[in-house]
Amino acid sequence: MKISTSRVIAAAAAFAFVAGAASCGKDVPNAEQSSQSYTIAGGEVTSTQPASEETTSSGEETEDTTSTTTASGVVVGEPRVSGITLSYTSADILVGQTLTYPLVSENIPEVWTSSDEEIATVDSVGNITGKSEGTCTIRVVSADDSKLGAEVKVNVKKGSGVEVNNGVTYIDGILVANKSYSLPESYNPGGLTPDTYAAFQELVQAAANDGISIYLSSGFRSYELQSQIYNNYVSTYGKETADTFSARPGYSEHQTGMAIDVNIVDDSFIGTPEAIWIEAHCEEFGFILRYPYGKQEVTGYKYEPWHIRYIGKENAKALRAEADKRDDVNLTLEEYLGIDSYYH
């Protein structure tokens, strides 16, 4: 299979940041921190079920006509594209979910577009993100020949209840990774998701405006890296203690590319101006304090004021509203979604 030149360039450009690697969202006091190289992914990758055989997008080449978009999202009037084979030509995704790019058969300079960016967007390497309910068409063409291309019909729906997609669990559209819900070993977005990274940059700037310094200490971790970290802690502290502050491989939120440890990753961070600011403001940027005080029996982890998780501004706002309704400022994601967190 040939690899797109644009994808190689995009992948190479992703290696841009270095951050300290720790446990599931933490170090223990005086634990030595290691450093990790992390990247910004093209998107949070959720594998699609590949077709049993590669299929070619339908349609024949035609001349240009007037361009309109139907209610179903199909672009009418643009030249039909063909000549490129994709690993899939249709997809169902949830609002807020990002689908990894379809594999392209030809080595071409790819140009990706969406017929309706209010329904779904696509990045420069073909990762597709659901924005609102509806149907649209994602198109890839060669930068050298606009008639050489293919299309993917995308149906975006709002998450409701529990859905499992290739081993990844979504509850009400939120990707869940805790002691009860694991991720496949192969799940690897390659770094922080673009939405997570962009939101964190906004958070950092807002904190700076208030005279508070927030920085990333640990971001994305692969299954393999988490396995090394966890096993090291087990060797040092024993399994029972390690399980209170470090996730077993496949159960870490860091593997989602949507979790970040900020600043000092140990108990000395508790009560600092930075910790207080994070707890008061992170939801404004789509983050939640994932392991709040007094909720170890619920989350399965000790209090970690440095560990934040991106769930999107709307979800973070809804969780806060529910917390106010229940008069529980430390409402957890588990309590909000009605799930548990323990190794079954």
Residue 306 has pLDDT above 60, yes or no: yes
Structure tokens at 279: 């707890």
The CA angle 32-37-39, to the nearest 5 degrees, is: 140
Between 99 and 55, the more confident residue is: 99
Domains of the chain (ranges, CATH numbers): 5-44+167-337 (3.30.1380.10), 55-162 (2.60.40.1080)
Q: Looking at this protein, which amino acid is placed at residue 138?
A: I
Spell out a b/e string for 74-109, using b for 16 or more CB atoms within 10 Å of the CB, else e.
ebeebbebbbbbbbbbbbebbbbbbbbbbbbbeebe
Between 325 and 61, the more confident residue is: 325
Q: Please, is 192 exposed, middle or buried when counting C-beta atoms within 10 Å of its C-beta (0-12, 13-18, 19+)?
A: buried
pLDDT of the residue at 134: 92
Coil, helix or strand at residue 71: coil
What is the pLDDT averaged over residues 168-192? 95
337 and 316 in contact (C-beta within 8 Å)?
no
pLDDT of the residue at 142: 92
Helix (H) or strand (E) holding 122: strand 120-122
Q: Considering the chain, what percentage of its residues have pLDDT values greater than 70? A: 76
pLDDT of the residue at 160: 63
Residue 6 has pLDDT above 70, yes or no: no
Give the C-alpha separation, 43 to 59, whole Å. Answer: 29
Q: pLDDT per residue over 182-238, tens digit each?
A: 999 999 999 999 999 999 999 999 999 999 999 999 999 999 999 999 999 999 999
304 in active site = yes
Of 274, 304, 334, 335, which is the active-site residue?
A: 304
pLDDT of the residue at 300: 97
Q: pLDDT per residue over 44-88, tens digit each?
A: 333 333 333 333 333 333 344 334 444 444 444 455 667 888 999
What is the average pLDDT score of the chain? 81
What is the pLDDT averaged over residues 264-271? 97
Between 136 and 33, the more confident residue is: 136
Residue 336 has pLDDT above 90, yes or no: yes
What is the pLDDT averaged over residues 150-157? 91
Residue 35 has pLDDT above 60, yes or no: no
Q: Are strands 259-262 and 304-310 parallel, antiparallel or unpaired?
A: antiparallel
Q: Are strands 120-122 and 128-130 parallel, antiparallel or unpaired?
A: antiparallel
Structure tokens at 297: 């029996």
